[in-house]
Amino acid sequence: MTVYRDADAGGNAVLTPVTDRGDFVLDNVEPRVLLWSDAEVYYLKRQSPDDPNRWVSLASI
């Protein structure tokens, strides 16, 4: 799971599977499955792949 903000300052949590073809974003507000790099959002935090109880910051402060 990943949390982001969009251009309108709205937030959302999305499923972000990691595959051998790249990292993808499955978003309930976007009808297409996008590559992580193609989604026009500002990523904030992502669930740790090592510990699902830990969140990793992606935002630069």
* pLDDT for the residue 23: 93
Distance CA 36, CA 17 (A): 9
Q: How many domains does the chain have?
A: 1
Mind listing the pLDDT tens digit of every residue in the chain (61 residues)?
Answer: 999 998 888 899 999 999 999 999 999 999 999 999 999 999 999 999 899 899 999 976 5
Task: Record the tokens describing residue 8, joined without a space.
Answer: 């309108």
Residue type (1 letter), 23 = D
State the residue range of the domain holding 51.
Answer: 2-57
pTM for the whole structure: 0.82
